[in-house]
Structure 1
Amino acid sequence: MRSELGPSPLAADERRLHPLSWLFVLLAQLRQFAVPLIVLVFAGGRGDRWELYGAVGALALPLIAVAQYFSYRFRIADDELVIRSGILQRNRRHIPFRRIHNVSLHQNLLHRVFGVAEVHLESAGGVKPEAQMRVLSLADAHALEALVQSRGNQPESPTAAASEPERAALLLSLSTSELLRLGLISNRGMVVVAAGIGVLAQSGSDAFAIALKGIAQSLFGWANGQHLSWIGWALAGISLFIAFAAVLRLLSMLLAVLQFHGYTLHEQGERLSVEAGLLTRIRAHTPRHRIQAWTLRESLLQRWLHRQSLSVDSAVVQAANNQRSLRDLAPIAPPHTVTALLQRLLPAAGWPDLAWQPLHPRAWRRMLMIPIVVTVLACAALWLRFGNVALFALLALPWWWLRARRLAQFAGYALTDSVIAIRGGWPGHYWRLAEIGKLQVIGISSTPFDRRHGMATLWLDTAGANAMQPRLRIRYLPKAQARALLETLNARMQRNGIARVPPFGCPVLPDIADDGDHDPQ
Structure 2
Amino acid sequence: MSTPDLETGEQRLHPLSWLFVLLQQARQFFIPLVLVVFFGQRGDREDGYANLASLGAIGVLVAISVLQYLTYRYRLGADAIHIRSGLLERSWRDIPYARIHNVALHQSVLHRMFGVAEVRLESAGGARPEAQMRVLRLDRALALEQRVRQGTHATPGIDASTDGTTPAAEPSVRTLLRLPVPEVIRLGLVSNRGMVVVAAAFGVLYQVFPQRSVSNFITNNGEVAYRYVHDLHPGMAATAVAALLLLAALLLAMRALSVLLALVQYHGFTLSEIERRLTVERGLLTRIRTSTTRRRIQAWTLREGFLHRCLRRRRLQVDTAASQQHDDHGRAFRDVAPIATPQACDDLIADLLPHAAWPPAQWTPVPRANGWRLALPSLWLLPVAAMASWHLGPWAWLLLAWWPWALFSAYRQIARMGWSVEGERIVVRGGWWDRWWRMAELDKLQALRLSRSPLDRLFGTASLWLDTAGAQASAPPLRLRLLPEAQAQALYEQLGTRLARRRLRW
Alignment partner for residue 358 of structure 1, among 353, 362, 365? Answer: 365
Instruction: List aligned pairs for 1:2-13, cutoff 5 A.
Output: 3-6=1-4, 8-11=5-8, 13=9
Give secondary structure in 1 for the equivalent of 2:476: coil
- The superposition leaves residues 207-259 of structure 1 with CA deviations (integer Å, 9 ceiling, x where unpaired) of 64454334323322221222234434333332222222111111110110111
Give secondary structure in 2 for the equivalent of 1:347: coil
The 8 Å contact of residues 11 and 74 in structure 2, kept in 1 or not, is answered as: yes
Alignment partner for residue 456 of structure 1, among 449, 455, 462? Answer: 462
- When structure 1 is superposed on structure 2, of 313-322 and 335-344 the one drifting more is 313-322
CA distance in structure 1 between the aligned counterparts of 2:504 and 2:204, rounded to whole angstroms: 46
CA distance in structure 2 between the aligned counterparts of 1:499 and 1:31, rounded to whole angstroms: 49
The 8 Å contact of residues 185 and 301 in structure 1, kept in 2 or not, is answered as: yes
CA distance in structure 1 between the aligned counterparts of 2:344 and 2:475, rounded to whole angstroms: 21
Q: Where does residue 493 of structure 1 map in the other structure?
A: 499
Q: Where does residue 193 of structure 2 map in the other structure?
A: 188
Kindly tell me: are residues 54 and 318 of structure 1, through their superposed partners in 2, closer, same or farther at Cα, counting changes over 3 Å?
Answer: farther
CA distance in structure 2 between the aligned counterparts of 1:165 and 1:296, rounded to whole angstroms: 34
- The superposition leaves residues 3-23 of structure 1 with CA deviations (integer Å, 9 ceiling, x where unpaired) of 3224x2232x22221110011
Q: Where does residue 63 of structure 2 map in the other structure?
A: 63
CA distance in structure 1 between the aligned counterparts of 2:500 and 2:210, rounded to whole angstroms: 59
Kindly tell me: are residues 468 and 302 of structure 1, through their superposed partners in 2, closer, same or farther at Cα, counting changes over 3 Å?
Answer: same
- When structure 1 is superposed on structure 2, of 361-370 and 439-448 the one drifting more is 361-370
Give secondary structure in 2 for the equivalent of 1:319: coil
Question: What is the percent sequence identity of the aligned residues?
Answer: 44
Report the Cα offset of residue 80 of structure 1.
Answer: 1.0
The 8 Å contact of residues 314 and 345 in structure 2, kept in 1 or not, is answered as: yes
Report the Cα offset of residue 438 of structure 1.
Answer: 0.7
The 8 Å contact of residues 313 and 327 in structure 1, kept in 2 or not, is answered as: yes
Kindly tell me: are residues 385 and 74 of structure 1, through their superposed partners in 2, closer, same or farther at Cα, counting changes over 3 Å?
Answer: same
- TM-score normalised by length of structure 2: 0.90
Kindly tell me: are residues 153 and 260 of structure 1, through their superposed partners in 2, closer, same or farther at Cα, counting changes over 3 Å?
Answer: farther
The 8 Å contact of residues 106 and 281 in structure 1, kept in 2 or not, is answered as: yes
Q: Where does residue 334 of structure 2 map in the other structure?
A: 327
Equivalences, count: 490
One-letter code aligned to 2:314 = Q
Q: Where does residue 114 of structure 1 map in the other structure?
A: 114
Q: Where does residue 163 of structure 2 map in the other structure?
A: none
Kindly tell me: are residues 102 and 401 of structure 1, through their superposed partners in 2, closer, same or farther at Cα, counting changes over 3 Å?
Answer: same
* 2:416 matches 1:419: no
- The superposition leaves residues 177-207 of structure 1 with CA deviations (integer Å, 9 ceiling, x where unpaired) of 1111100100111111122222221224466
Report the Cα offset of residue 94 of structure 1.
Answer: 1.1
Give secondary structure in 1 for the equivalent of 2:368: coil
Q: Where does residue 343 of structure 1 map in the other structure?
A: 350
One-letter code aligned to 1:270 = R
Give secondary structure in 2 for the equivalent of 1:30: helix
Report the Cα offset of residue 317 of structure 1.
Answer: 3.0
Report the Cα offset of residue 63 of structure 1.
Answer: 2.1
Instruction: List aligned pairs for 1:461-476, cutoff 5 A.
Output: 461-476=467-482
The 8 Å contact of residues 272 and 288 in structure 1, kept in 2 or not, is answered as: yes
Give secondary structure in 1 for the equivalent of 2:328: coil
* 2:89 matches 1:82: no
Report the Cα offset of residue 41 of structure 1.
Answer: 7.8
Give secondary structure in 1 for the equivalent of 2:480: strand
Q: Where does residue 275 of structure 1 map in the other structure?
A: 281
One-letter code aligned to 1:389 = W
Task: Give structure 2 stretches of 5+ with no counterpart.
Answer: 159-165
Instruction: List aligned pairs for 1:258-269, cutoff 5 A.
Output: 258-269=264-275
One-letter code aligned to 2:293 = P
Q: Where does residue 124 of structure 1 map in the other structure?
A: 124
Q: Where does residue 390 of structure 1 map in the other structure?
A: 396
One-letter code aligned to 2:182 = S
* 2:412 matches 1:410: no
Report the Cα offset of residue 169 of structure 1.
Answer: 1.1
Give secondary structure in 2 for the equivalent of 1:362: helix
